[in-house]
Structure 1
């Protein structure tokens, strides 16, 4: 049995949905389909989820939301008309939006319910289209499928009892079409996963039904070893381990949401990244273990938008609880940290800049000075993080030497180095303006020499 997930670009139009249907019908083992909301059809297009968010924000602000409503209905109308489906589906979509808007739910629950309409509506449309082609297929709601989640709007986590319920889907004869991105609490309240959560749904369902393979269809033939907007025609990755993919996705790779593989990883289900527009391409396999090919580095990931919070205090290393108290200050401001390299008398905490508002920054600096009696506190902005990833690095000699040589070749100063305890990754901090030349130099070092 295969569970198949299709991303937003794969379901953006009627033409794309016809391709998806052909992919499903070409392999009788593809029994469960998870779909995203319609994405962009072209560069300037709008994603349906963004339109639903626009509608919800307009409603909550007391503004006219009819324009957003019309855009959403027109997107689905274009699809249903081209596929020759009944207009009743459009009325269902309009009724679903009207029902959520008119509900007496709290605002955050209302936004979750609105955002989920994109995936839910597309699953209904695609289920109806598959059935219209003579395929034994049907839409199934996540609640009926057994996707039960924690009570955390916008950040739902799967509950363990879901997996036993999901396993029963193996007994169904039809091809099942399940909307991604959301589940239900045991009290019946809709909750969404973090943005990009349709990948999470696919992984959860694959783990629940104990699939032999989880296929994730997107718009690329395979995963590239580096961002193709930085390096032209980079090498493709044929095989990755779960740990490598998770490190890469966390550090800026856009193929997967960084939480998406956890259920598949735990269930040891192989994952294959494939292209909806070129389904015959072999794609990239993600597995528990792989044979090393001689190059210790499998990929280079990068991202901008970081800052470093530097704290120095003489004899910090002898002060029991210093690090805990520092991180408690961040916790009180609801700020998570990315990395925290330290020395004898100093400690640096790497944060996402988007989390630190001017008000929070002022409070944090004041508390560190008053409560921790720090000698020096400073913030460095405009940082980028570059991560080299590979299972082979923990047994290879000279990886760090070659990496730092690549930075030197590009005449770039390294602001920070941090090696993960898993020894699968090494992270470097540089100024954001140096990100692209640094990545290109690293690529030349590890993939061209």
Structure 2
């Protein structure tokens, strides 16, 4: 029994939905199908979810909403007509949108319900098309399926009791089409996961029904060892561990939502990333363990948009509670941190730059100065992080030397190194403008 999740590009048009139906037909084990909202059909196209968010924001501003609803319905109308489906699906989508807008709920709950319309409509359309194509299929609302979540609008967390309810779905003979991205609280409020959360739904369903495989269909043949925007024709990765994929996702690999693997990881369900447009390609498998003989570095990930708070104080290491008080200031100001490399007299806290707006910067610096009395404090912006990832790092000699040499050969200065806190990754901080040449040099050092 397999769970297959199809991303936004896979359901972006009628032509793509036909491909999805053919993929489902070719393997009777694909019993549970999770879908995203229709994504982009071409580079400058709009995603349905973005259009729904714009609608919600316009409604909140008391603007006329017809001009926002029209392009949404036009897009769904094109898909439904090309698939020769009944018009009542369109009527259902339109009525759902207006009903949400008229509800007496909080702004956040209303926006969550609107955002979910994309995935919900995709599931209804695909289910109807599969039935029309001769496949026994049914639309399964997450409430009926048993996807029970916490009451955190836009950032729902799955509750443990969901998995027992999902397991009961195994008894069906039909193909079940489940919309991704959202679930329901115990009070039956619709709440969405964080953006990209259809991956999370797919993983939750796979864990709940104890699938033999979770297939995640997207628009690439596999995961690559580096972002193809940096290097032409990079090597494909055939096998990854869960830990490696999570590290790569965190550091800029957009193939997989970085939270999505957790349910599948806990149940040790293998995951395969495949291409809807080339389903015969083997794809990339994500597994619990792989052979020790395989390459020590599997991928190089990178991301920009970081900054660091640097603090120096003589004998910092002997001052009990220094780190706790520093992090309390950040917590008090509503700021989360990413990394915190430190020495005996120095400490750097790496943050996402958008988490430290300029208007907060002066206040936080003043608090750190007044409450911790450091010798030196400074903030460095426009940083990028490069992460070298591989289960073999911990048992391979010379990886750090090879990496630093490659960065040096690119004439790039290393602002920060973080090694040792993870067994599967090594992180380097550099200036954002040097990212392209540093990544290229690392790729050629490890893969060419």
TM-score for both structures, normalised by structure 2: 0.99
**3-state secondary structure, aligned to 2:421:** coil
Q: CA deviation at 1:105?
A: 0.4
Check the 8 A contact 1:295/1:446 in 2, yes or no. Answer: no
Check the 8 A contact 1:149/1:184 in 2, yes or no. Answer: yes
Q: CA deviation at 1:194?
A: 0.4
Q: CA deviation at 1:138?
A: 0.6
Q: 1:203-262 CA deviation, whole Å, 9 max, x = no partner?
A: 000000000000000000000000001000000000000000000000000001110100
Give the match for residue 148 of structure 1.
148
**3-state secondary structure, aligned to 1:123:** helix
Q: Distance in 2 between matches of 1:257 and 1:62?
A: 34
Give the match for residue 193 of structure 1.
193
| Of 79-88 and 351-360, the range deviating more from structure 2 | 351-360
Q: Distance in 2 between matches of 1:329 and 1:108?
A: 28
Give the match for residue 336 of structure 1.
336
Q: CA deviation at 1:384?
A: 0.2
Give the match for residue 175 of structure 2.
175
Give the match for residue 263 of structure 1.
263
Give the match for residue 4 of structure 1.
4
Give the match for residue 107 of structure 1.
107
| Of 57-66 and 261-270, the range deviating more from structure 2 | 57-66
Q: CA deviation at 1:332?
A: 1.1
**3-state secondary structure, aligned to 2:116:** helix
Check the 8 A contact 1:85/1:128 in 2, yes or no. Answer: yes
Q: CA deviation at 1:293?
A: 4.3
Q: Distance in 1 between matches of 2:339 and 2:419?
A: 10
Give the match for residue 238 of structure 2.
238
Q: Distance in 2 between matches of 1:293 and 1:98?
A: 58
Q: 1:357-394 CA deviation, whole Å, 9 max, x = no partner?
A: 22221221111011111221100010000000000110
Q: Distance in 1 between matches of 2:358 and 2:433?
A: 23
Give the match for residue 217 of structure 2.
217
The answer to whether the aligner puts 1:117 opposite 2:111 as a matched pair is: no
The answer to whether the aligner puts 1:366 opposite 2:366 as a matched pair is: yes
The answer to whether the aligner puts 1:295 opposite 2:295 as a matched pair is: yes
Give the match for residue 66 of structure 1.
66
Structure 1 segment 71-86 matched on structure 2, within 5 A:
71-86=71-86
Q: Distance in 1 between matches of 2:21 and 2:45?
A: 23
Q: Distance in 1 between matches of 2:13 and 2:414?
A: 45
The answer to whether the aligner puts 1:354 opposite 2:389 as a matched pair is: no
The answer to whether the aligner puts 1:254 opposite 2:272 as a matched pair is: no
**3-state secondary structure, aligned to 1:254:** coil
**3-state secondary structure, aligned to 2:252:** coil
Give the match for residue 206 of structure 1.
206
Q: Distance in 2 between matches of 1:312 and 1:61?
A: 47
Check the 8 A contact 1:244/1:389 in 2, yes or no. Answer: yes
Q: 1:387-445 CA deviation, whole Å, 9 max, x = no partner?
A: 00000110000000000010111111000000252310000000001001000000010
Give the match for residue 409 of structure 1.
409
Q: Distance in 2 between matches of 1:421 and 1:342?
A: 11
Q: Distance in 1 between matches of 2:414 and 2:202?
A: 39
Q: CA deviation at 1:96?
A: 0.6
The two structures, once aligned, show a CA RMSD in angstroms of: 0.8
Q: 1:51-104 CA deviation, whole Å, 9 max, x = no partner?
A: 000000111011222222111101100000000001111111011110110001
Structure 2 unaligned blocks of 5 or more: none
Give the match for residue 163 of structure 2.
163
Q: 1:89-129 CA deviation, whole Å, 9 max, x = no partner?
A: 11110111101100010001110010000000110111111
| Of 366-375 and 389-398, the range deviating more from structure 2 | 366-375
Q: Distance in 2 between matches of 1:31 and 1:153?
A: 29
Q: Distance in 1 between matches of 2:294 and 2:122?
A: 44
Count of residues paired in the alignment: 448
Q: Distance in 1 between matches of 2:166 and 2:292?
A: 35
**3-state secondary structure, aligned to 1:272:** strand
Structure 1 segment 381-396 matched on structure 2, within 5 A:
381-396=381-396
**3-state secondary structure, aligned to 1:206:** helix
Check the 8 A contact 1:300/1:388 in 2, yes or no. Answer: yes
**3-state secondary structure, aligned to 1:302:** strand
**3-state secondary structure, aligned to 1:384:** strand
**3-state secondary structure, aligned to 1:443:** helix
Give the match for residue 380 of structure 1.
380
Q: Distance in 1 between matches of 2:155 and 2:277?
A: 31
Q: 1:112-156 CA deviation, whole Å, 9 max, x = no partner?
A: 010000000110111111111111001000010000000100000
Q: Distance in 1 between matches of 2:326 and 2:176?
A: 49
Structure 1 unaligned blocks of 5 or more: none
Q: Distance in 2 between matches of 1:421 and 1:355?
A: 23
| Of 254-263 and 418-427, the range deviating more from structure 2 | 418-427
- Report runs of 4+ in structure 1 exceeding 3 Å deviation: none
